[in-house]
Amino acid sequence: DVKVTQSSRYLVKRTGEKVFLECVQDMDHENMFWYRQDPGLGLRLIYFSYDVKMKEKGDIPEGYSVSREKKERFSLILESASTNQTSMYLCASTGGAAGANVLTFGAGSRLTVL
């Protein structure tokens, strides 16, 4: 029944390391999203993609990049991790019968940058 899978639930990295967060969905959804969730700030959109090899900046793209080489996979990349990127990262997708504005989320990846 799992629909959006984030491969890493917990990661600990050091400042300056390159970090990859992987997300895979099995619903053939066109649209995929990366959010970060922080206490007192709610969810903030980092990047999204409406098609393979396509990406759009969200509200807080600085310090992040993304890759979508296949329809089912959307990767978030931190080129040089910093402590202020310690957060919960949520991947989501939309499409199909549920519609373009109903998100299906993964369980999240909690990243700690030391």
Partner 1 sequence: GNSVTQMEGPVTLSEEAFLTINCTYTATGYPSLFWYVQYPGEGLQLLLKATKADDKGSNKGFEATYRKETTSFHLEKGSVQVSDSAVYFCALNLYSGGGADGLTFGKGTHLIIQP
Q: List contacts with partner 1 (CB under 8 A).
A: 4, 31, 33, 40-43, 45, 48, 50, 56, 58, 90, 92, 94, 98, 100-108
Cβ 86 to partner 1 shortest distance, Å: 18
Nearer residue to partner 1 within complex by CB, 12 or 107: 107
Give the span between the Cα atoms of 5 and 25, in whole angstroms. 6
Cβ 25 to partner 1 shortest distance, Å: 12
Nearer residue to partner 1 within complex by CB, 18 or 54: 54
Cβ 56 to partner 1 shortest distance, Å: 7
Cβ neighbors of 74 (< 8 A, separation 6 or more) are 23, 25, 32, 33, 34, 49, 66, 67, 68, 91, 93
Give the span between the Cα atoms of 81 and 14, in whole angstroms. 7
Nearer residue to partner 1 within complex by CB, 56 or 79: 56
Nearer residue to partner 1 within complex by CB, 12 or 98: 98
Q: Are 108 and 90 in contact (CB under 8 A)?
A: yes
Identify the residue whose tokens are 């990349």.
77
Give the span between the Cα atoms of 25 and 85, in whole angstroms. 24
Cβ 52 to partner 1 shortest distance, Å: 16
